[in-house]
Amino acid sequence: GDKAFAQFLTDEIKEEKKIQKHKSLPKVSGGWELEVHGTEAKLVRKIAGEKITVTFNINNSIPPSAEEDTQEQQKPDEQEPELTSTPNFVVEVIKDDTKQTLVLDCHYPEDEIGNEGEEESDIFTIREVSFQPTGEADWKDTNYTLNTDSLDWALYDHLMDFLADRGVDNTFADELIELSTALEHQEYIKFLEDLKSFVKCQ
């Protein structure tokens, strides 16, 4: 059984490498620096008096696909639909002269992906906003967290503009999907390779 499993993994790795779009991770335009720690990635950008960091984790970032519906129509020789990684991401804005960090929790709404028709709509939304003490690893539940579900639209728009002025806009969000998808694929291939070594290990 293990031999067959290892063989299957070898073929699978070959296939995945064939469809891998990026041999190295795509860059995000606008002067963002990328740090990757396993499945977590961090983009950092400094502008006058501020540091902006965007953090995301590729685990569980691929939305469940509606496989049940598509199974029948799919012809055997057709490529599988491309998987896209749309992780939640957290934007932190740190101003040099305050001890507080503004934290904006953003995500890609599932129904927005692929609705290219409406120019107006943003491809990501802000879910929560809070202040956290700068430099503290653990965020406190005691800090007020603003949930955007019941937010005044004008305030919400200002928050989106605030992010856009710092380089977090639709273009950025698109490039983040691209980066995250490439990173997810890279990690998946690495996982298959580790699994293969593990299975072959006597």
Which amino acid is located at 190 in the chain?
K
In tens, the pLDDT along 56-114 reads 999 988 887 644 444 444 444 445 567 899 999 999 999 988 888 999 999 999 764 55
Helix (H) or strand (E) holding 50: strand 50-57
Q: Which residues pair with 112 in a beta bridge?
A: none
Q: Which residues pair with 68 in a beta bridge?
A: none
Instruction: Say if CB 29 and CB 45 are below 8 A apart.
Output: no
Domains along the sequence of the chain with CATH: 29-59+83-110+120-188 (3.10.280.10)
State both tokens at 3.
């031999």
Q: Which residues pair with 89 in a beta bridge?
A: 56, 106
Handedness of CA 34, 36, 39, 42 (dihedral sign): negative
In tens, the pLDDT along 113-166 reads 554 444 557 899 999 999 988 776 666 677 888 899 888 999 999 999 999 999
